Amino acid sequence: MTTLLEVQHLSKSFGGLRVTDDVSFTLASGDRVALIGPNGAGKTTLVNQLSGDLAPSDGRILLAGEDVTKAPIPERVRGGLVRTFQVTRLFTSLTVAENVALAVMQRRGLTRRMFSSVLDRSDVRDEWQGVLSLLGIGHLAATPVTKLAYGQQRLLDLAIGLAMKPRVLVLDEPAAGVPHDESPRILEAIGRMSPEIAILMIEHDMDLVFKFAKRVLVLANGALIFEGTPAEVKENDAVRAAYLGNYADARRAS
Amino acid sequence: MATLSVTAAPSAWAGLRNDLIAAAVIAVLGAIGWFVYPDDLAFLTRVIGLAFLVISLDLVTGYCGVATLGHAALFGVGAYAAGNFCLAGVTDPILMLLIGALAGMATGLVSGLLVTRFRGLPQLVLSIAFGQLVAALANKLSSITGGSDGLAGISASPVFGIFNFDMFGRTGYVFSVIVLLITMVVLLRFARSPFALMCRAIKDDTLRTRMIGVSVYPRLVVMYCVAGAVAGLGGALTAINTGVIGLDSVSFERSAEALIMLILGGAGNLWGALIGAILFELFHHYVSAASPFHWMILVGVLLIVVVLFFPKGLVNEVTRRIGDFRQARAAR
Q: By the 8 A CB rule, do A136 and A184 touch?
A: no
Could you tell me the residue ranges of all domains in chain A? 3-88+165-253
* Chain A: closest CA distance from residue B324 (Å): 13
Q: Is residue B23 packed enough to be buried (19+ CB in 10 Å), middle (13-18) or exposed (0-12)? A: middle
SS3 content of chain A, % helix, strand, coil (to 5): 40, 25, 35
**Of A73, A106, A116, Cβ closest to residue B192:** A116
For B158: left if phi > 0, alpha if psi spans -120 to 50, otherwise beta; the answer is: beta
Res A248 pLDDT > 60: no
- How far, in whole angstroms, is CA A127 from its chain's centroid? 21
CB contacts of A82 in chain B (<8 Å) are: 211-212
CB contacts of B207 in chain A (<8 Å) are: 53, 89
Put simply, whether B330 touches A (Cβ < 8 Å) is no
CB contacts of B226 in chain A (<8 Å) are: 114
Q: What is the mean pLDDT of residues A101-112?
A: 92
**Of B189, B201, B268, Cβ closest to residue A91:** B201
pLDDT of residue A243: 66
Could you report the per-residue pLDDT of A135-160, keeping only the tens digit for each?
889 999 999 999 999 889 999 999 99
CATH of domain A3-88+165-253: 3.40.50.300
- Give residue B11's pLDDT band: very low, low, confident or very high (50, 70, 90): low
* Chain A: closest CA distance from residue B211 (Å): 7
Could you report the per-residue pLDDT of B172-222, keeping only the tens digit for each?
999 999 999 999 999 999 999 999 999 999 999 999 999 999 999 999 999
**Secondary structure of B119-173 in the HEC alphabet?**
CCHHHHHHHHHHHHHHHHHHHHCHHHHCHHHCECCCCCCCECCCECCCCCCHHHH
* Chain A: closest CA distance from residue B323 (Å): 13
Pairing relationship of beta strands A3-14 and A58-63 according to DSSP bridges: antiparallel
Taking CA–CA distances from B215, the nearest residue in chain A reads A74
pLDDT of residue A250: 45
Q: Do A119 and B208 touch (CB under 8 A)?
A: no
The residue ranking higher by pLDDT, B324 or B29, is B29
- Give residue B292's pLDDT band: very low, low, confident or very high (50, 70, 90): confident
Distance in angstroms (rounded) separating the CA atoms of residues B105 and B126: 18
Q: Is residue A55 packed enough to be buried (19+ CB in 10 Å), middle (13-18) or exposed (0-12)? A: exposed
> What is the percentage of chain B residues whose pLDDT exceeds 90?
66
| Residue B166 backbone dihedrals phi, psi, to 5 degrees | -85, 165
Res B118 pLDDT > 50: yes
> What is the percentage of chain A residues whose pLDDT exceeds 70?
95
Q: Return the sign of the alpha-carbon dihedral for residues A28, A29, A32, A35.
A: positive
Put simply, whether A155 touches B (Cβ < 8 Å) is no
- Give residue B26's pLDDT band: very low, low, confident or very high (50, 70, 90): very high
Contacts of A100 (CB under 8 A, 6+ apart): A128, A131, A132, A156, A159, A160, A163
- Give residue A235's pLDDT band: very low, low, confident or very high (50, 70, 90): confident
pLDDT of residue A179: 81
Neighbours of A59 (CB within 10 A): 17
pLDDT of residue B311: 86
Angle between helices B270-290 and B41-57 (to 10 degrees): 140
Q: Do A92 and B205 touch (CB under 8 A)?
A: yes
C-alpha distances out from residue B89 to B79, B84, B85, B156, B203, Å: 15, 9, 6, 9, 43
- Give residue B323's pLDDT band: very low, low, confident or very high (50, 70, 90): confident
pLDDT of residue A253: 44
Q: By the 8 A CB rule, do B105 and B225 touch?
A: yes
Q: What is the mean pLDDT of residues A182-204?
A: 88
CB contacts of B268 in chain A (<8 Å) are: 93
Distance in angstroms (rounded) separating the CA atoms of residues A164 and A158: 10
CA-closest candidate to residue A147, choices B226, B32, B84, B324: B324
Res A249 pLDDT > 70: no
CB contacts of B313 in chain A (<8 Å) are: none
- Give residue A117's pLDDT band: very low, low, confident or very high (50, 70, 90): confident
- Give residue B56's pLDDT band: very low, low, confident or very high (50, 70, 90): very high
Q: Where do the H-state alpha helices sit in A65-214? A: 73-78, 96-107, 122-134, 150-163, 183-191, 206-212
Look up the CATH architecture of domain B12-331.
Orthogonal Bundle (1.10)
DSSP A144: B
**Of B192, B195, B201, Cβ closest to residue A94:** B201
Res A91 pLDDT > 60: yes
- Give residue A244's pLDDT band: very low, low, confident or very high (50, 70, 90): low
Contacts of A4 (CB under 8 A, 6+ apart): A27, A28, A29, A63, A64, A80, A167, A168, A198
Residue A168 belongs to what H/E stretch? strand A168-172
The complex scores an ipTM of 0.84
Angle made by CA atoms B141, B147, B151, in degrees to the nearest 5: 105
Chain mean pLDDT for chain B: 90
Q: Where do the H-state alpha helices sit in A135-239? A: 150-163, 183-191, 206-212, 230-235, 237-239
Q: Do B210 and A125 touch (CB under 8 A)?
A: no
Q: What is the mean pLDDT of residues B288-296?
A: 84
Could you tell me the residue ranges of all domains in chain B? 12-331
Among B130-134, B207-211, B282-286, B327-331, the least confident range: B327-331
**Interface subset of B 255-284, CB within 8 angstroms of A:** 268
CB contacts of A168 in chain B (<8 Å) are: none
pLDDT of residue A246: 55
Res B36 pLDDT > 60: yes
Could you report the per-residue pLDDT of B60-103, keeping only the tens digit for each?
999 999 989 999 999 999 999 999 999 999 989 999 999 999 99
Q: What is the mean pLDDT of residues A36-52?
A: 90
CB contacts of A118 in chain B (<8 Å) are: 193-194
Contacts of A24 (CB under 8 A, 6+ apart): A7, A8, A9, A10, A59, A224
**Of B190, B192, B214, Cβ closest to residue A74:** B214
Res B2 pLDDT > 80: no
